[in-house]
Amino acid sequence: MQYLRPATPEFSALFKKAGFQGKAAILLSSCFGVGLIPVAQGTFTSLAGIPLAFGLAQLSPLAGAAFLALFIALAVWASQQSATVLQKSDPAEVVIDEMAGILVALYLVPVSFIHFCLGFVLFRLFDILKPYPIRRSERMGGGAGIVLDDLLAGVYANIGVRVITSFLP
């Protein structure tokens, strides 16, 4: 369990001081502790999101869209609450935005190894490089700003998967 320890004593102190709502938000926004891994939190969260994306693919498009909308709303709320509790504009421990982004990246793409791997790689690439207007969206601030850049990276990845796989046999 050494790898899931909070990165700083400040995190631990702020978490202890938080009320129920703040603790619940941190638990959700860290994806139940994945955000506390000391390295590559976004990559590990994106990987953890693949089974959820597979489950999302089993729903009808309308039910999937409703689930995705609710998940994004939850991500914005949890990110905002966690940022307030942790007293940072975009805490490293908050990774629910990566989970939302990978779900967008894989939404309505065919369920196959190649599609999901390509979606994962493209999402991480766009999330790291932040091409226009992704980087600009971070300036929005708050929970929406934390989540929006990952949603846009997910949209770019989703489009990329569709374009690249359209050229495959």
Instruction: Check: CB of residue 25 under 8 Å from CB of residue 83.
Output: no
Over residues 45-73, the pLDDT tens digits come to 999 999 999 999 999 999 999 999 999 99
Over residues 112-127, the pLDDT tens digits come to 999 999 999 999 999 9
Q: What is the mean pLDDT of residues 89-115?
A: 96
Across the chain, what does the average pLDDT equal? 92
Helices 142-166 and 96-106, axial angle in degrees (round to 10): 30
State pTM to two decimals.
0.92
Asked if the bond preceding 91 is cis, omega within 30° of 0, the reply is no
- For every residue of 43-91, DSSP letters joined together read HHHHHHHHHHHHHHHTS-HHHHHHHHHHHHHHHHHHHHHHHHHHT-SS-
